[in-house]
Structure 1
Amino acid sequence: MTKKFNYKPLIEYTNYERKKYIKPEKAGDLKEDMELFRKNGQSARKVFTEIAKALEEKTDGFHLQKVSSWMNQAQIARPYLWVFLRQDGDSDTESGIALRVFKNERTRKVGISLEVSFVERKIGENTLKNQNKVLEVPINEPLYYFVQFAKSKENCALDRFEGNESNRERFLKEWKNGGIRKVLVKFDVEEIERFESLDELVEKFLEGVRLLMPFYAATH
């Protein structure tokens, strides 16, 4: 019998969104709360790392990079953990296949998306040019676009659009006219807790990886 995987720590940590972490020794009356905060963050990261490693084992040639911390540099909770998978020879400025935790705004269920994207803080001279070559590849649902228009660079807003040829042609034209900063291609795995085992979840991830590979290849 397949052992049921425990997603609970990762799912529950999404409730810490935007909360400020204070070191317990400096937290006064909140010491116990902060100890629990840290424990929950570490547990969530451990679960997410286990999920990502299970995918790495099934993706030939891709290697797991460092998993994001459970808080950012300002010590604000980072519940939507992320990690990149890269191939040998890929530089940090190039696109990779990333896993990101998300929460469906309508159902409030936690999922994990796969995407062809890059790390903003490691952006290089040709990163955006190469990333946006995803627009040269035909697209169909269930893939979709996350688009950052040039005018939204200040707040890094990303808008979601259906993955279809009409949108691809539109965005390709807008990008060439300077109206778009970056385009990500994404695949969502909704409600991770519906997958009894890690093997079942990874099989769904692999479906996404197969669909994303032409877009990944276009960026390299």
Structure 2
Amino acid sequence: MNKKFNYNSLIEYTNYEGKKYVKPEKAGDLKEDMELFRKNGQNARKVFTEIAKALKEKTDGFHLQKVSSWMNQAQIARPYLWVFLRQDGDSESESGIALRVFKNEKTKKIGISLEVSFVERKIGENTLENQNKVLQMPIDEPLYYFVQFAKSKENCALDRFEGNEKNREKFLKDWENGKIRKVLVKFDVEEIEQFESLDELVEEFLKGFELLIPFYLKTKEI
């Protein structure tokens, strides 16, 4: 019988979104609050790392990169943790397959998406061109696009669009005409709590992983 997995730390940490962390020794009356903040962040990251490692074990040839910190450089909570899976030979400027925590704004439930994307701060000369080769691949639901239009470069706003041939053809033309900066391909696993065991969750991830592999490989073509 599969052991029931405890997602609580990861889910509860999303309540810290936007909050600033201060080292407890500098927090004055908020010392205990900040100690709890740090503990919750560390626990959330630990749970997410365990989930990512479980998927990595089932994906032959892929290696797990460093999991994002529970806070950013400005010491603001980063509740939507992420991590990349890469193969041997992949550079940090190339596209990989990432896991990313998200919150469904309608249901408020916590899910984890898989995506073919790259790390913005590691971007290289050909990163965008290679990433956007995903538009050369036929697409169908449940996959979908996350699109950043060229005009939104400053704030990195991304809009969601259905994964279908009509959108693919449109975005391919838009990319060729310089209207689009980047296109991600994503697969959502909604409400992780519905999967009692880690094995069950990973089985769902693998469905998305299999669908995303052709898009990932397309970004590697020369």
TM-score normalized with structure 1 length: 1.00
Rounded Cα–Cα distance in structure 1 between residues aligned with 2:155 and 2:17: 18
Q: Counterpart amino acid of 1:116?
A: V
Rounded Cα–Cα distance in structure 1 between residues aligned with 2:183 and 2:7: 30
Does the CA contact (< 8 Å) of 2:24 and 2:34 recur in 1?
yes
Q: Counterpart amino acid of 1:219?
A: T
Q: Counterpart amino acid of 1:141?
A: E
Counterpart position of 1:55: 55
Does the CA contact (< 8 Å) of 2:2 and 2:199 recur in 1?
no
Rounded Cα–Cα distance in structure 1 between residues aligned with 2:17 and 2:84: 21
Counterpart position of 2:72: 72
Rounded Cα–Cα distance in structure 1 between residues aligned with 2:154 and 2:53: 34
Counterpart position of 1:82: 82
Q: Counterpart amino acid of 1:189?
A: V
Counterpart position of 2:144: 144
Counterpart position of 1:134: 134
Structure 1 residue ranges, 4+ long, deviating more than 6 angstroms after superposition: none
Deviations 1:75-119 (A, max 9, x none): 000000000000000000100000000000000000000000000
Matched, 1:197 2:175: no
Counterpart position of 2:177: 177
What is the CA RMSD across the aligned residues, in angstroms?
0.3
Does the CA contact (< 8 Å) of 2:70 and 2:77 recur in 1?
yes
Rounded Cα–Cα distance in structure 2 between residues aligned with 1:215 and 1:98: 13
Counterpart position of 1:211: 211
Shift of 1:207: 0.3
Rounded Cα–Cα distance in structure 2 between residues aligned with 1:189 and 1:136: 25
Shift of 1:190: 0.2
Shift of 1:2: 1.8
Secondary structure of the residue aligned to 2:204 is helix
Number of residues of Structure 1 aligned to a counterpart in Structure 2:
220
Secondary structure of the residue aligned to 2:186 is strand
Shift of 1:18: 0.3
Counterpart position of 1:32: 32
Q: Counterpart amino acid of 1:110?
A: I
Percentage identity across aligned positions? 86
Which stretches in structure 1 are left out of the alignment for 5+ residues? none
Shift of 1:180: 0.2
Rounded Cα–Cα distance in structure 1 between residues aligned with 2:3 and 2:100: 24
Matched, 1:116 2:116: yes
Deviations 1:195-215 (A, max 9, x none): 010000000000000000110
Rounded Cα–Cα distance in structure 1 between residues aligned with 2:94 and 2:28: 44
Does the CA contact (< 8 Å) of 2:101 and 2:113 recur in 1?
yes
Secondary structure of the residue aligned to 1:68 is coil
Rounded Cα–Cα distance in structure 1 between residues aligned with 2:48 and 2:179: 36
